[in-house]
Amino acid sequence: MQALGYAAFSARVSARGSGDRIPLSGAIEVSRRCPLHCVQCYNNLPMGDAAARRTELSTAEHYRILDEVAEAGCLWLLYTGGEIFARPDFLDIYTHAKRRGLLITLFTNGTLITPRIADHLARFRPFSVEVTLYGATASTYERVTGVPGSYEQCWRGIRLLVERRLPLKLKTVGLTINRHELWQMQRQAEEAGLEFAFDAQINPRIDCTLGPLAVRLDPAAVVALDLQVPRRLAEWRQLAARFGRPGAWPAHSDTLYDCGGGISSFAIDPEGMLSLCVISHRDRFDLRRGSFREGWDGFLRAVRERKATRPTVCAACSLRWMCAMCPANGHLENGDPEQPVAFLCETSHLRAYALGVPVVPHGDCPYCEGGARFDALASAGTALGEMAAASRDT
């Protein structure tokens, strides 16, 4: 029998009928506790938070839930936090998940990785490990994390993983206070022989307080970064060629949610609350009171079938394929899951004008032709596009 590559396998299991609901991928937050105090984080708590520790799922509860999600058809699992290694029993939980045959990705800041942890991961290899950098220098890194010495602790963890040839990737989140070191971080990753990626998506905290947004890049800076990375620009151009024509993207449905949450993916928080995704906390099912199958088949199905209560400017927008707007973002930033997030609208329209993607005016959108912000945004987008073209030509 011919071996099937991972990409082909992934495509095959994902090619299901539109009516199927299979929880193929999940994210489990094992703790909100973390040794760092990052200014942009949406859910970190101090390592010594006794209340958080008391309410976290026990090791046995993790085992039971893992058994249930594996039996339900889950293949890919992400462990995240907080910091996953904040729990002394995390390796036990992780190993149980490995023995259930799950393909596991680990998100960590790297600061708590020890030789013992690295050796265990070398023995029970994850599908991927992703470590977040917050700066290329100690001063910037620790300005983000608020913890002296954390820069060297992070790189110590990275070196331990590299020495064991684990499948490691480095990444960062673009912020106003580390943007100037983004390319230096990329060089550091390349010199270590590691893949590097960045994202500029910042969310409010899960209690809807807006503190993290104080360090969020503005839309022009986000789009400029998109255009400065050749691979990232090529990906956007490929997507534009595929979906940038009017009608190429599926019409907006009348349901509130229009994503993979509750259809092919799920999230579980440190207290065992099942939801559509890690930033969606409006609708949650308590896995301490019911099984994963009950939560998936009953509760999350009902959430996914919930109808929108009113039309919004998003419904007729031709740029939905490039926009990160969703009910979870609307709830966190506006207190209303159906209220579009202005930052996301502006970023998507600016990116479209920079890439030369046709934008069909719709509703009272201020960023479309005829809207109050159109002239300034279209002009800025054109200038960004010309800068990207000039850079490519040289």
Report the 3 state secondary structure along the chain.
Answer: CCCCCHHHHHHHHHCCCCCCCCCCEEEEECCCEECCCCCCCCCCEECCCHHHHHHCCCHHHHHHHHHHHHHCCCCEEEEECCCHHHCCCHHHHHHHHHHCCCEEEEEECCCCCCHHHHHHHHHCCCCEEEEEECCCCHHHHHHHHCCCCHHHHHHHHHHHHHHCCCCEEEEEECECCCHHHHHHHHHHHHHCCCEEEEECCCCCCCCCCCHHHHHECCHHHHHHHHHHCHHHHHHHHHHHHHHCCCCCCCCCCCECCCCCECCCEEEECCCCEEECCCCCCCCCEECCCCCHHHHHHHHHHHHHCCECCCCCCCCCCCCHHHCCCCHHHHHHHHCCCCCCCHHHHHHHHHHHHHHCCCCCCCCCCCCCCCCCCHHHHHHHHHHHHHHHHHHHHC
- Residues above pLDDT 70, as percent of the chain: 94
Q: Which of 200, 197, 82, 42 is nearest to 130 (CA)?
A: 197
Domains, the chain, in order of start with CATH, read 22-217+257-304 (3.20.20.70), 320-393 (no CATH)
Q: Can you give the pLDDT at residue 213?
A: 95
Q: Can you give the pLDDT at residue 251?
A: 83
- Residues above pLDDT 90, as percent of the chain: 83
Q: Can you give the pLDDT at residue 8?
A: 52
Confidence tier at 18 by pLDDT (50, 70, 90): very low
What does the alpha-carbon distance between residue 25 and residue 67 come to, in Å, rounded to a whole number?
A: 14
Q: Which residue has the higher pLDDT, 202 or 15?
A: 202
Is the separation of the CB atoms in 367 and 346 below 8 Å?
yes
Over residues 117-143, the pLDDT tens digits come to: 999 999 999 999 999 999 999 999 999
Over residues 306-363, the pLDDT tens digits come to: 999 998 999 889 999 999 999 999 999 999 999 999 999 999 999 999 999 999 998 8
Confidence tier at 215 by pLDDT (50, 70, 90): very high
- Whether the pLDDT of residue 392 is over 70: the answer is no
Contacts for 233-242 with beta carbons within 8 Å, 24 or more apart? 233/388, 233/392, 236/322, 236/351, 236/355, 237/355, 239/321, 239/322, 240/322, 240/355, 240/356, 240/357
What does the alpha-carbon distance between residue 290 and residue 286 come to, in Å, rounded to a whole number?
A: 6
Is the separation of the CB atoms in 205 and 211 below 8 Å?
yes
Torsion of CA 135, 232, 357, 326, to 10 degrees: -60
Number of C-beta neighbours around residue 190 at 10 A: 12
Name the token pair of 277.
């995704």
Over residues 257-273, the pLDDT tens digits come to: 989 999 999 999 999 99
Q: Which residue has the higher pLDDT, 78 or 201?
A: 78
How would you classify residue 262: left for phi > 0, otherwise alpha for psi between -120 and 50, otherwise beta? left
Q: Which residue has the higher pLDDT, 382 or 1?
A: 382
Q: Can you give the pLDDT at residue 14?
A: 52
What does the alpha-carbon distance between residue 347 and residue 117 come to, in Å, rounded to a whole number?
A: 40
